[in-house]
């Protein structure tokens, strides 16, 4: 499987440069739809990793995946390289500002691309040791011929001490 197809390549350096910590906790829950080129993903896991603060505000990476990430040392990186099957990684601040997302749907020819302007956030909360919210596109998106859309609700535990 090529690196580009395995959902990663170029983005690995970007993510490493952002200072994502590799702590992964027990899987939370995710519901909704995530479709790539007409094929629905079956996301079953949600985990949160700590991220370097953004403009002095705590930030997180929410990783939604098809495969269990509990044995992963860095779920976001594993998602990019296709090790967690279909996946979506969302980088977000504590106040709900979306910093970016990695679209890693295995049915996309260019899986692993970065997106920030196409995904909307609603009902986002960080409270009681959990992160939760709704993440969606307003319509089907096109990324150089690859079509994708999502409407997902997720809830997962924050990393210890965050």
Instruction: Please tell me the total count of domains within the chain.
Output: 1
Residue 32 lies in a domain: yes
The pLDDT value given to residue 26: 55
The pLDDT value given to residue 79: 96
Residue 127 lies in a domain: yes
* DSSP code of residue 153: E
CA distance 110 to 53: 29
Residue 5 lies in a domain: no
Residue 69 lies in a domain: yes
Q: Which of 33, 11, 160 minimizes the C-alpha distance to 79?
A: 11
Assess contact for 76 and 21: CB atoms under 8 A.
no
Residue 4 lies in a domain: no
Residue 109 lies in a domain: yes
pLDDT single digits (tens) 62-117: 999 999 998 999 999 999 999 999 999 999 999 999 999 999 999 888 777 888 78
Assess contact for 53 and 59: CB atoms under 8 A.
yes
pLDDT single digits (tens) 13-59: 233 333 333 334 457 999 999 999 999 999 999 999 999 999 999 99
In the block, tokens 């909704």 appear at 32
Residue 20 lies in domain: 11-157
CA distance 97 to 94: 7
């Amino acid at each position: 499987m090529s690196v580009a197809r395995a959902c990663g390549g170029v983005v690995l350096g970007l993510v490493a440069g952002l200072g994502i910590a590799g702590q992964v906790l027990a899987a939370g829950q995710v519901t909704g739809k995530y479709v790539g080129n007409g094929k629905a993903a079956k996301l079953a896991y949600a985990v949160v990793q700590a991220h370097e603060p953004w403009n002095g505000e705590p930030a997180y990476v929410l990783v939604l995946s098809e495969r269990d990430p509990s044995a992963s040392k860095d779920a976001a990186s594993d998602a990019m390289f296709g090790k967690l099957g279909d996946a979506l990684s969302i980088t977000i601040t504590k106040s709900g500002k979306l910093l970016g997302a990695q679209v890693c749907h295995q049915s996309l020819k260019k899986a692993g691309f970065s997106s920030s302007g196409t995904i909307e956030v609603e009902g986002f909360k960080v409270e009681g040791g959990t992160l939760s919210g709704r993440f969606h596109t307003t319509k089907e998106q096109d990324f150089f011929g690859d079509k994708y859309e999502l409407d997902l609700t997720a809830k997962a535990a924050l990393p210890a001490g965050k």
